[in-house]
Structure 1
Amino acid sequence: MTHPNLLVELFVEELPPKALQKLGDAFAGVLFEQLQAQGLAAPGARLTAFASPRRLAAHITEVAPQAADKAVSQKLMPVAVGLDAAGNATPALLKKLTALGADASAVATLRRVPDGKAEVLFHDSTVRGATLSEGLQKALQEAIAKLPIPKVMRYQLTSGCEQPGWTSVSFVRPAHGLVALHGTEVLLSVKALGLTAGNTTHGHRFEAAVDPVVVTSADSYAQQLAEQGAVIASFAERRAEIVRQLQAAAERMGGGVRPIEDDALLDEVTALVERPNVLVCEFEKEFLDVPQECLILTMKANQKYFPLLQADGRLSHQFLVVSNITPADASAVVQGNERVVRPRLADAKFFFDQDRKKTLLSRVEGLGKVVYHNKLGTQGERVERVRAIAKAIAEQLFAGIGAHNSELDSAEGEIARDYLLSCVDTAALLAKTDLVTDMVGEFPELQGIMGGYYAANDGLAHEVAHAIEDHYKPRFAGDELPRDNVGLIVAMADKLETLVGMFVIDNGPSGDRDPFALRRHALGVIRMLIEKRLPLSLYSLLTDALNVFRKWFKQKVGSMASLSQPERAVVEVFYPSYVTQISSVISYSAIRSFMNDRLAGYLRELGFGAKEIDSVLQGEVERLDEMPRRLAAVRAFAALPESPALAAANKRVGNILKKAEVAGPVDPHVNPGLLQEEAEKNLYAALQRFVPEADAQFDAGDYTASLQTLAVLRAPVDAFFDDVMVNAEALDLRLNRQGLLKRLHVAMNRVADLSRLAA
């Protein structure tokens, strides 16, 4: 049997644009789920959500006027409790039946069901299915209650209540209309937010052909709004129409011009207009002397315009506006938008011109007046910590710059090394100085980017300018990494300073709370080490950063004599405890665990399995750039037929050695003269033959070949455990056999802890 379709609409004042799509999906989704749960929407029913600046709506197919009756079986109580010796109902049973809406006559219909050693009484009944009006009322209340409203507005009802002007309701925006149509029937008994359901709504504020729009049926809603109300009700259709018009406008201009791609801007503009009309505008070309990032940001953030890029990626002096009106002559609209954007661009040009009058170096002192964190000092102090960490990283990375470059002799290598170290230090010193510029003060999103421009303006080396611009990268998931080693070092130092500093003051992430974006910083460090294949130990870097903080905290405490009384009070409260904490292993352990969790997540995204990742992480690999090759080797090893047996044997060896090492470390030295059993002689011979080859492959970085070479040990290992008693009574035999297993264990686990592959 086919049922009519249902249409529900809430007509409201302009909804918050950044939340519109989420509000529309949530409103329609909860309505649909509730109607399905009540048996009113058919199993194959389809949902269409609508969301425009002034409405939230849902169209649901196949909705019954009343849900089917439902058989309900209610467990009551044990027979011994509900019936007396004569079989009559006890007061407890009668009270329970009354609560269920039944009376004493229902006693005769109760079922007895065995439950262990006793019997239990059950009451069977049929519950009438909810009518659509009843079910929709409940579903609508639930949908409104569960809306992800960013900020609730409280307002007074002006009609539809006993005391207009005195009755208040709360919603995301004041609601002015409710439509509830089942086919062509209006569900008059449905109410929400002081409104009674009807069949009238409103279209475009200025361009609707009819007002109000009388919706004749649930299925004609979208078409009537489009034709009579000049509104595209569907968020997805409206968005697609904007994309189509943007592309069409750019194509008409020719020359390979294209609108900037920005999904967030596109979603926001879609939430601002009811019937889009894309227009081409322009500004004076003189503004193109300002960095295009500034112009793009001010057009997008302040005016919601779509900048146009030329074929070579440079900004065009033309831009696109998505208007909400379609006049016959759009010149006034175009001129109005051009007039509005001009002061914004002029401000950006003014900020840029003013900022260039002072060098970045002259701004360093100003960072000492900007608080970074009340427990970690100023931005100036932070810069000094970043410089120290960057220096430690650079000295490791550039240590052999002459030796590893055949084109440079030792003197040239030393000069190149000193130059790069100088670039790193300069970039670290100046990286945060654009925070005290006018442009970044107006547009914080441009931090780093403007620093790069100002560094170039100051005549600094391009490595320095690039590093200042890149040191915030990666800013988000999938973002590009810094372009060269100087930028990588400064970016890594900046992120390590934040990570370590926040953990030292016990301000790490908790649940969804991560105000300092430590998870993103951790992933950024991991990505740089792995994707740029930097030959650095993550855990040495963490230790270096902790040492920088140790020195800084101790300087804070040591300089108390020069502090004012209020400053001294702060130091006495905070810093001594931090010096104690940072001197312990607590901070390091917490940071390392945190980094390992992020590393495991990153490796999972690369497609590696949990056992593979666990085996490599348990192997305590210091250099993350080796991780992908080690994981690939483990995966290849796991596919070998010998793998399960060797993994199980490796686990067994680990357990034996763990028990043996309670009394002290096991010596891996083996005395061939003490080998008695044929199986232990064969295992020793196999180790002598194949381990040197596997070690050479490991040292050459061929981890896959190393593990595959060791796979031949399966047979002698199996035979050893079948025929040899490790814990022999004779001490010399026992220690010799433990030493043999120690050699095996060390050889097998250089790439990863293979016992983690065991089932």
Structure 2
Amino acid sequence: MTTAAATIRPLLIELLTEELPPKALQKLGLAFAEGLRKILDQHHLLAPGCGVSDFSTPRRLAVVLGAVLAQAPEQTYTEKLMPAKIGLDDTGGISPALAKKLAAKGLGHLAAADLITESDGKQDYLYARGVAAGAALADGLQEALDYAITHLPIPKVMRYQLADGVSSVKFVRPAHQLIALWGNEVIPVRALGLDAGRRTLGHRFMAGHAIDIASPDTYEKQLHDDGKVIASFAQRRALISRQLQSQAQALGATIGAGPEVDALLEEVTALVEHPTVYVGAFEEQFLQVPPECLILTMRLNQKYFPLFEPGSGGLTHRFLIVSNMQVDDPVNIVEGNQRVVRPRLADAQFFFQTDLKTRLADRVAGLATSVYHNKLGSQLERVERVRQIARHVAGQLGGNTDNADRAALLAKADLGSSMVGEFPELQGVMGAYYAKADGEPDDVVLALKDQYRIRLDAPVDAATLTSAALFIAERVETLLGIWGIGLVPTGERDPYGLRRAALGLISAFEQLQAGGYLAISDSDSLNLAELLAFAASTFAPGIASQASGAEVRAFIYERYRNLLTNDFDRNVVDAVLALEPPLHQVHARIQACASFAQRPEAASLAAANKRIANLLKKAGAEPGAIDPDKLGEPAEQALAKVIAALKPQAQAQLAQGDFTASLATMAQAKDAVDAFFNDVMVMADDPAIRANRLALLADLHQVMNQVADISRLAQ
């Protein structure tokens, strides 16, 4: 190759396999492309501006890199070898030790004169410097391919035997073909027992013949035109989405929205290579079954998209099928899918009708044989704890304690139902349907339905107060119980969802405040420390200790800190949460503190607060009462008068929940505080004077830090 242009070509790598796990497909495709790109780039084999296109279908992982070099440019190198006194002999020649090291590094051709001696600050070292030939594409690609395969995020590896009947390899699924094309040239690399070529296969049913890929530039088009395969995951997903929307609109319906729909779209994209959407239907009599049951079985078991009324959101008797076949007459495909889904819907109907024959309350006793955790007892024992906590919470909030108790009693009863046994995802949802059929109060029914929500996202009102009581009780019981038996979250591991439980609990306090059940001025109702202490008393001795309660409380505030720092300055958040204020006051205090931080007095007062905290800590002893007769300096007398004047006003504003005004009031002390530190020696020689000045500062510190620990604002 005589020109620079001739040494730069696009590169295609494809692994043709058995059907890959659909939920992992997109990640596998992206990781495969990134692994190849990373190693080729490390070897300087990618030309500037080289684009990367990843492809993944149910039976292939592929990548096209737009500009790849035949050989990397020459690379300068510097190799630190060994101390000169060891590497050189008495005559200045290469010692046996150095000769061995040079040979190991492929530098055995170098003589002593080719080496450089430099000091590393402690002793003289020998260095080899020079220019090395760049890596050849075949060598760099083999390393990149090995790296990309071994670093795939494979959910479960399988071992399979190769064609020779002796060797075996490990991979996510058996691989059958390997393509490695640089321009129109096959690069001789090997992976998973396969030698690279240019041959692949198209769609399993619509184009089962082999296809020889001419070049990376023709890969997508050849697969599409000859193989009936849309290789790009993103393009298949977009095509499916357009077809779904078009079919739904034509029927005057929608496919719905939300994470469940998005997840299903991702999954079906990974199941098909040539997607076509068809319309199916089932008998309208099945709509008498709770829609959640029908929706779940269609999405989870059959990968169908249920259709909904656009106005009411009600489920219709139609659904959309994402097929891997495009045919002129899809009647067989549609009828086949309808025959498959009908028994599923019939099962759901049977489970529901059977479950209705037993009252939900009559299922509670059966929870005694269902183990919650071997250290925490049965589900029934847990229910009894949650009942006590729910009554306590409802009582604190002025709610209906009997209904809160009833909701907690019935909360886990549907675990013994046939429907939940078949579809565990419907816990709580089915309990609500069965409770409604039994004539339970509306707020109890709603509480059962809402108990598994991740967070409360609307202000609590009279209709949802019982829901809030059960929601809080469940999360407090979970946090204390799981924490108490030592299953504390570590790193990425949180199998019992304690982080989620803490965030859910925080959301409940926020929505209780938004709904008026916890006033900003109220710092006593539903106090977190007291709530945890009460909940701890419901456990058997030795489970939820006072220490574990304190740890859980700190854990909750730490989760709140991580959440709040997404929206607020970290110093402001730290300043407020350092006091562990009532959870429902946190947002208001942060807003007040953020406003205070913008005032011109803030920096000086924060620094003074930090200084006061250090002085009080250094003094050690608890400050006594202030003796006015020992305030001899004008500056300390002035500060005492300012505190006396501002303190009752700031405390009254704090009691009213006006945190901004309370901080603003104390900001008026700035000049007196500055003068005090300029003119007064706090640590006076006279112990009595020193103690009195520390008492004065302690009084100031207490009133200044009622809303937040202002010293945390000091930079």
For the criterion TM > 0.5, the same-fold answer is yes
Distance 1:135 1:88, change over 3 A: closer
What residue in structure 2 maps to residue 143 of structure 1?
Answer: 148
What residue in structure 2 maps to residue 324 of structure 1?
Answer: 324
CA distance in 1, matches of 2:687, 2:232: 82
Within 5 Å, give how 1:306-705 maps onto structure 2. 306-311=305-310, 312-398=312-398, 420-474=400-454, 484-533=464-513, 535=518, 536-549=526-539, 553-554=540-541, 579=542, 582-583=544-545, 585-605=546-566, 607-621=567-581, 623-660=582-619, 662-663=620-621, 665-667=622-624, 669-705=625-661
Within 5 Å, give how 1:34-183 maps onto structure 2. 34-103=39-108, 106-116=111-121, 118-158=123-163, 164-183=164-183
What residue in structure 2 maps to residue 564 of structure 1?
Answer: none
Report % sequence identity: 49
What residue in structure 2 maps to residue 237 of structure 1?
Answer: 235
Distance 1:184 1:479, change over 3 A: farther
Distance 1:396 1:339, change over 3 A: same
Of stretches 220-229 and 539-548 in structure 1, the one that deviates more from structure 2 is: 539-548
What residue in structure 2 maps to residue 574 of structure 1?
Answer: none
What residue in structure 1 maps to residue 14 of structure 2?
Answer: 9
Aligned residues of 1:452 and 1:469 also touching (Cα < 8 A): yes
Aligned residues of 2:390 and 2:401 also touching (Cα < 8 A): no
CA distance in 2, matches of 1:22, 1:699: 54
Within 5 Å, give how 1:280-299 maps onto structure 2. 280-299=279-298
CA distance in 2, matches of 1:479, 1:72: 63
Distance 1:463 1:105, change over 3 A: closer
Aligned residues of 1:679 and 1:720 also touching (Cα < 8 A): yes
Aligned residues of 1:258 and 1:310 also touching (Cα < 8 A): no
SS in 2 for 1:307: strand
Aligned residues of 2:53 and 2:64 also touching (Cα < 8 A): yes
Deviation at 1:387, TM superposition (A): 0.4
CA distance in 1, matches of 2:576, 2:413: 41
CA distance in 2, matches of 1:712, 1:6: 70
Matched, 1:207 2:166: no
CA distance in 2, matches of 1:260, 1:347: 26
Deviation at 1:480, TM superposition (A): 11
What residue in structure 2 maps to residue 264 of structure 1?
Answer: 263
Of stretches 164-173 and 117-126 in structure 1, the one that deviates more from structure 2 is: 117-126
Of stretches 531-540 and 431-440 in structure 1, the one that deviates more from structure 2 is: 531-540
Letter in 2 for 1:666: P
CA distance in 1, matches of 2:433, 2:176: 51
What residue in structure 1 maps to residue 522 of structure 2?
Answer: none
Select 2:692's aligned residue among 736, 742, 757. 736
Deviation at 1:56, TM superposition (A): 0.3
Deviation by residue 1:204-249 (Cα, 9 ceiling, x = unmatched): 11212x7211111101101111111111000110000000000000
SS in 2 for 1:358: coil
Aligned residues of 1:247 and 1:259 also touching (Cα < 8 A): no
CA distance in 1, matches of 2:695, 2:120: 61
What residue in structure 2 maps to residue 575 of structure 1?
Answer: none
Tell me how many residue pairs correspond in the alignment: 696
Deviation at 1:479, TM superposition (A): 11
CA distance in 2, matches of 1:617, 1:588: 17
SS in 2 for 1:532: helix
CA distance in 2, matches of 1:105, 1:750: 74
Distance 1:481 1:84, change over 3 A: farther
CA distance in 1, matches of 2:24, 2:99: 53
CA distance in 2, matches of 1:672, 1:707: 26
SS in 2 for 1:181: strand
Distance 1:212 1:32, change over 3 A: same
CA distance in 2, matches of 1:625, 1:147: 45
Letter in 2 for 1:50: F
Letter in 1 for 2:28: L
Distance 1:86 1:219, change over 3 A: same
CA distance in 2, matches of 1:112, 1:460: 89
Of stretches 525-534 and 323-332 in structure 1, the one that deviates more from structure 2 is: 525-534
Deviation at 1:447, TM superposition (A): 0.3
CA distance in 1, matches of 2:644, 2:703: 11
CA distance in 2, matches of 1:333, 1:102: 67
CA distance in 2, matches of 1:460, 1:392: 21
CA distance in 1, matches of 2:695, 2:596: 25
What residue in structure 1 maps to residue 225 of structure 2?
Answer: 227
Deviation by residue 1:476-504 (Cα, 9 ceiling, x = unmatched): x9899997111011011111111111111
Aligned residues of 2:528 and 2:553 also touching (Cα < 8 A): no
Deviation by residue 1:517-570 (Cα, 9 ceiling, x = unmatched): 111111111111123325322222111111111xxx25xxxxxxxxxxxxxxxx
Deviation at 1:152, TM superposition (A): 1.4
Aligned residues of 2:459 and 2:512 also touching (Cα < 8 A): no
Letter in 2 for 1:474: I
Deviation at 1:260, TM superposition (A): 5.0
What residue in structure 1 maps to residue 185 of structure 2?
Answer: 185
Aligned residues of 1:260 and 1:309 also touching (Cα < 8 A): no
CA distance in 1, matches of 2:138, 2:93: 42
Q: How much is the aligned-residue C-alpha RMSD, in angstroms?
A: 1.9
CA distance in 2, matches of 1:684, 1:221: 83
SS in 2 for 1:336: helix
TM-score by length of structure 2 reads 0.94
SS in 2 for 1:5: strand
Deviation at 1:586, TM superposition (A): 2.6
Task: Name stretches of at least 5 consecutive residues in structure 1 with no aligned partner.
Answer: 159-163, 399-416, 555-578
Letter in 1 for 2:103: T
What residue in structure 2 maps to residue 573 of structure 1?
Answer: none
Deviation at 1:474, TM superposition (A): 1.5
What residue in structure 1 maps to residue 521 of structure 2?
Answer: none
SS in 1 for 2:538: helix
Distance 1:168 1:742, change over 3 A: same
What residue in structure 2 maps to residue 570 of structure 1?
Answer: none
Distance 1:479 1:125, change over 3 A: farther
Distance 1:270 1:733, change over 3 A: same
Distance 1:105 1:211, change over 3 A: closer
User: Would you identify which runs of 4 or more consecutive aligned residues in structure 1 move more than 6 Å?
Assistant: 477-483
Deviation at 1:116, TM superposition (A): 2.6
Deviation at 1:697, TM superposition (A): 1.7
CA distance in 1, matches of 2:122, 2:493: 52
Distance 1:260 1:680, change over 3 A: closer
Task: Name stretches of at least 5 consecutive residues in structure 2 with no aligned partner.
Answer: 519-525
Select 1:714's aligned residue among 656, 670, 674. 670
